[in-house]
């Protein structure tokens, strides 16, 4: 196993964040009015490339379920979805719905935090010192009425193209899983690409999926601290890789994307603090990559068409998604 990187000063989170933010900034790269960030890399050519990858006609949903038995525990008022019926078959049988000629139906409603299960982080989700994506003041972007600038609806038609799975859990882990606290570095990502071969290459406009095996373990052992506790994840030192590869988005099978505990003595999600407001990177969390990983390992093909449109909730800073990988 490749050891985690120690190329950072754990006692200086502020300095590391400031340096990475300056080094990896995409502010004004696509103009002062840009709302798409790295999704600008995902152009028509990348979508056509993704479409050519559908050869067998098989598809995989990369979403966890949205139910009351999910991983959330109420941290910062994040709860599991609450699903309630408004009309049922019982109502229809009893003829109390008020429709003529025996017509009946069922209807329902759901209450949920938009990041309760498989989701995208939008560009209005994280700020750095009160600044949002592209150098805007956070208070000018997100108010009590929501994100009026980079709301998740701006990405509704953009996220479809070449997907690639990096199964770091199987390449570097034990029995397909990385231990909690394992910081995935750029070297680890490149080692996984090398091990998996040409179809795992990563470049401009790609949608990268990283499997750690953390969700696999949660399903075997119970949710425990899956939502918010210790976990494998990306090292802060991958900020340069995320910026330099010019990927359009990245998704992972963990709750927090980056390694937890974080690598600094005192910090909270420092990679988020660089990746979203400065790189403009779309981050997916709590994706279910297990079945796709098994198929990719079986046929040796790690690339596929990925469609992952967020639910276009107007002004939302994140949204549920049912990603589909087609091979």
Q: Could you count the other beta carbons within 10 Å of the beta carbon of residue 61?
A: 15
Beta bridge partners of 183: 233
Span 205-234, pLDDT tens digits: 999 999 999 999 999 999 999 999 999 999
Domains (range + CATH), the chain: 13-74+114-326 (3.50.30.50), 81-111 (no CATH)
pLDDT of residue 4: 42
CA distances from 181 to 207, 234, 251 (A): 24, 10, 18
6 has a pLDDT exceeding 80? no
Question: What is the percent of the chain where pLDDT is above 90?
Answer: 95
Question: How large is the average pLDDT for residues 130-158?
Answer: 98
129 has a pLDDT exceeding 90? yes
Beta bridge partners of 146: 143
pLDDT of residue 312: 98
Sorted by sequence, the CB contacts under 8 Å of residue 106 that are 6+ apart come out as 85, 87, 88, 89, 92
Span 170-188, pLDDT tens digits: 999 999 999 999 999 999 9
75 has a pLDDT exceeding 90? no
Question: What is the percent of the chain where pLDDT is above 70?
Answer: 98
1 has a pLDDT exceeding 80? no
Sorted by sequence, the CB contacts under 8 Å of residue 89 that are 6+ apart come out as 104, 106
* Residues 153/120, Cβ–Cβ less than 8 Å: no
pLDDT of residue 2: 39
Q: Could you count the other beta carbons within 10 Å of the beta carbon of residue 232?
A: 28
Please confirm whether the linkage preceding 95 is cis (ω < 30° from 0): no
Residue 134 pLDDT level (bands cut at 50, 70, 90): very high
Beta pairing, strands 183-184 & 160-166: unpaired
Distance (Å, whole) CA 327 – CA 185:
28
């Amino acid at each position: 196993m490749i050891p985690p990187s120690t190329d950072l000063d754990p006692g200086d989170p502020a300095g590391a964040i400031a340096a990475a933010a300056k080094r990896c900034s995409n502010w004004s790269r696509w103009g002062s009015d840009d709302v798409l960030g790295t999704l600008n890399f995902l152009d028509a050519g990348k979508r056509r490339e993704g479409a050519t990858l559908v050869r067998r006609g098989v598809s995989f949903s990369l979403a966890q379920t949205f139910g009351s038995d999910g991983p959330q525990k109420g941290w910062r008022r994040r709860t599991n979805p609450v699903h309630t019926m408004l009309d049922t078959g019982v109502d229809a049988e009893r003829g109390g719905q008020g429709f003529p000629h025996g017509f009946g139906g069922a209807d329902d409603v759901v209450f949920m935090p938009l990041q309760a299960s498989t989701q995208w982080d939008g560009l209005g989700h994280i700020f750095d010192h009160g600044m949002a994506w592209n150098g805007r003041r956070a208070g000018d972007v997100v108010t009590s009425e929501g994100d009026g600038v980079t709301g998740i609806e701006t990405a509704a038609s953009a996220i479809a193209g070449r997907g690639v799975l990096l199964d770091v859990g199987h390449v570097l882990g034990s029995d397909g899983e990385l231990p909690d606290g394992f910081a995935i570095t750029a070297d680890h990502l490149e080692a996984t690409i090398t091990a998996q071969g040409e179809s795992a290459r990563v470049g401009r406009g790609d949608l990268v999926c990283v499997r750690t095996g953390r969700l696999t373990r949660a399903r075997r052992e119970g949710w425990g601290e899956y939502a918010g506790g210790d976990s494998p994840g990306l090292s802060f030192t991958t900020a340069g890789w995320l910026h330099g590869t010019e990927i359009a988005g990245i998704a992972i099978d963990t709750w927090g994307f980056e390694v937890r505990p974080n690598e600094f003595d005192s910090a909270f999600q420092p990679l988020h603090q660089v990746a979203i407001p400065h790189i403009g990177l779309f981050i997916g969390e709590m994706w279910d990559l297990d079945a796709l990983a098994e198929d990719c390992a079986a046929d040796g093909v790690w690339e596929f068409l990925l469609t992952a449109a967020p639910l276009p909730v107007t002004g939302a800073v994140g949204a549920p998604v049912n990603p589909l990988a087609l091979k």
